[in-house]
Structures are given as structure tokens and as C-alpha cells.
Amino acid sequence: MKKTVLITGGAGFIGSHVVRLFVNKYPDYLIINLDKLTYAGNLENLKDIENKPNYRFVKADIVSADQMLQIFNQFRFDGIIHLAAESHVDRSISRPMDFIYTNIIGTTNLLNMALGQWKNNFQDKVFYHISTDEVFGSLGQEGFFTEQSAYDPRSPYSASKASSDHMVKAYHNTYGLPVLISNCSNNYGPNQFPEKLIPLAINNILNQKPIPVYGKGENVRDWLYVEDHAQAIDIIFHHGKKGETYNIGGNNEWKNIDLIRLLCRIMDRKLGKPEGDSERLITFVKDRAGHDLRYAIDATKLKKELGWQPAHTFETGLERTVEWYLLNRKWLENVLTGEYEKYYERQYQHR
């Protein structure tokens, strides 16, 4: 094999798309998918590639130095693409410590392992950390986040991701570890866990349950189809300049309420229902604590320097996403376990 690449969090939403892309596109790379399989990790996401000869799955917790040491003793990695994280803002508000352990301590554990294995011989090695635009805080009505924007995280989730970004940069500055970081906007697409806005709304429409919209639905997010994010990760992994950060975004801003209305129209059409049928499920509920008003990414650097462009428009991406959830009701049923029901009850009962 030409390279051995460790992908963490590969059983999750974005990670599974990255693993699939790498396993299929690079048959001469050995891809190791390391995942703890939390509620958000699901090996069903990778059924189509699980028997490929260049793919291995390892169940492990990045917080455990012992488990990481075992894996780093077993394999010699050329590259690490680190996606494993606690990723849901609402959960970070109710259980911040999970985010401190996985996002900060887990990331630092991996940095130590990479440093130990590569022992200052950094030739052709890279530790690529996948991060979020939320580290830059909240925008007003105007402006965009660039790579120069100051860090201003405002939720336990974004603070834990900001902290992990700082550790990655510190290992580069202090020890010379070859690192890359990208900060991406909101992803959507197949296999997203139905705690996030779009799949939660799709699932609720399918089950004729209220669609909870926080506050007045005025908050703005910049949406990117998940396969476009995976493509950007491939390009940055292979061509990014070590020590640099790249912003990734869809240049596709939507107010939550407008997005939900569009989604309702698509669902009505796909389900053969009269227009307006799903919209009546929209229910305004108590706002998220510290709810960031607006995120918007300026991805000029990635486009100009590395030639990345998203391939999907929002309309085509959203259609594909809805179609996937309609065709994969079994997948939805399987992830909607007792844990999900309990989470949903806790999260939405007093809103």
C-alpha cells in the first residue's frame, strides 16, 4: 500500500462520506477507520465498502491513551484525518463534559500519538484536523468569516472545538508537527443523525410530528452538501500547505424558517401531498441558549489556492437528501432507538 491513512470518526455523518471517498478513490491506500461508535456512529453508513481490501474498522475511544497507543503500535500512519468529535450544540449545552473529554483531550491524545510515532521525521506526514466555522462566533447581518477572523466561540461545543484547534496549532508551532486545519459551515446530506435540523425536520414530517423551530427562525446558516465537504477534505489533505487553515463553505445562506418552508414543499411533492400540508407542522419553540445569529464562510482561499468548488446547488442537494431519507426509512428506524426517544423528550419537553 502506498499510504496508510487513519480517519477518526469515520462511522459518523461526515466521516462516513470521507471514508467512502478515500476507500474508493485510492485503492492503494490502506484506510483505517477508528470510531468509538457513540450514539452518532453507525457502521451501517459504510455497508457498501466494508468488505473492500483497503479498508479496516477499529472500535476505540480517542480519549483512552492506552487504546490509542495499541493502535499506533499496530499501524504506521502517513496521514491522520481527525473527525471524531461530539458534534451537537444542544447536547453540549446539557452535557458539556463529554465535549471536553472527546474534543479537547481526545484530540490532544492523538497529537501526542502522531508526534511519538513520527519522532520528528515529518517528511510526507500530515495531521489534518476537521473543525467548524462556529469557532469564530456569531456574525451580525453583514460580513463573512475568513481564515483571519478572531476566535470567539460561544457554546460549549464551539469552545471545545476552538480549544482543539489551538492545540493543533500549538503542536505545529512548538514541535513542528505538520498540521492542516479546515473550518467548515453547516453540512447536510444522507446519513446525518436526526438530531440536526434538516434530518430532524424530515423525520418529524414523516411521522406527522411538530417541526420545532427555535426562536423566530431568523438565525442564518451557510449550508454545504456533505459530499462537497468530503471533496474539499481530499483536496486539502493532498495539496494543503502545512501549518495552514482553510475555510470551507457553500456560499449558501438560509434563514432557518425559509429553509424549513422549502423542505416542507419538497416533502409535500415527494409524498404526493397537497402543498402546505407539512408547513402546518412548523412550531416555534423556546430559543436555544446563546443561539448564534449567523454563520457565513468566505471560502476564497480554498477556491483560489487549491481550486475547490462545490458541485451541488442547494436545490439539487436538498432533493437528493430528501430522496435518500425516503428510500432509507430502515436506516432512520434503526437509529431512532430508545436513546433517541429519551434525548428527544429531554430536549423538547419544556420548549
Active-site residues, by number, are 133-134, 157
Q: Is the CB of residue 171 less than 8 Å from the CB of residue 179?
A: yes
Minimum CB–partner distance for residue 68 and ligand NAD (Å): 9
Residue 149 vs 256, nearer CB to ligand DAU: 256
63 binds, among ligand NAD, ligand DAU, none (CB under 5 to 8 A by kind): ligand NAD
193, interface contact from ligand DAU, ligand NAD, none, CB < 5-8 Å by kind: ligand NAD
Type of residue numbered 213: V
Query: What is the H or E stretch that residue 91 is in?
Result: helix 89-94
In the numeric block, the cell 501549518 is attached to: 243
The smaller minimum CB distance to ligand DAU, of residues 54 and 132, is found at 132
For residue 139, give the nearest of 154, 120, 128 by alpha carbon: 154
Bridge partners (DSSP) of residue 211 are: 282
Q: Does 13 bind ligand NAD (CB under 6 A)?
A: yes
Give Cβ neighbours of residue 235 (< 8 Å, ≥ 6 apart).
302, 306, 307, 308
- Cα–Cα distance measured from residue 256 to residue 46, given in angstroms and rounded to the nearest whole number: 30
Q: Which amino acid is at 280?
A: R
Angstrom distance (rounded) from CA 121 to CA 125: 8
Q: Are 145 and 296 spatial neighbours (Cβ–Cβ below 8 Å)?
A: yes
Nearer to ligand DAU, 80 or 259 (CB): 259
Is the separation of the CB atoms in 30 and 1 below 8 Å? yes
Q: Using the minimum distance from each CB to ligand NAD, give the nearer residue, 78 or 86.
A: 86
- With binding defined as CB under 6 A, does residue 55 bind ligand NAD? no
User: What is the distance between the alpha carbons of residues 194 and 174, in angstroms, rounded to a whole number?
Assistant: 40
* Residue number with the smallest Cβ distance to ligand DAU: 132
Nearer to ligand NAD, 84 or 302 (CB): 84
| Spacing of C-alpha 5 from chain mean position | 19
Q: Which does 19 bind (CB under 5 to 8 A by kind): ligand DAU, ligand NAD, none?
A: none
Q: Phi and psi for 288 in degrees, rounded to 5?
A: -65, 140
Query: Is 61 one of the binding residues for ligand NAD (CB under 6 A)?
Result: yes
CB of 220 to ligand NAD, least distance (A): 14
Which residues here bind ligand DAU, judged by CB under 6 A?
Answer: 87-89, 132-134, 185-186, 196-197, 200, 212-214, 219, 221, 256, 288, 295
Residue 213 interacts, among ligand DAU, ligand NAD, none and using kind-specific CB cut-offs from 5 to 8 Å, with ligand DAU
Q: Is 251 left (phi over 0), alpha (psi -120 to 50) or beta?
A: left
Question: How many C-beta atoms lie closer than 10 Å to residue 70's C-beta?
Answer: 12
Query: Smallest distance, Å, CB 340 to ligand NAD?
Result: 13
Question: What is the closest distance, in whole angstroms, from the C-beta atom of residue 264 to ligand DAU in the complex?
Answer: 14
| Cβ at position 208, least distance to ligand NAD in Å | 26
Query: Taking CB under 6 A as the criterion, which residues in 77-136 touch ligand NAD?
Result: 83-87, 102, 106, 130, 132
Binding site for ligand NAD (CB under 6 A): 8-9, 11-15, 35-38, 40-41, 61-63, 83-87, 102, 106, 130, 132, 161, 184, 186-187, 193
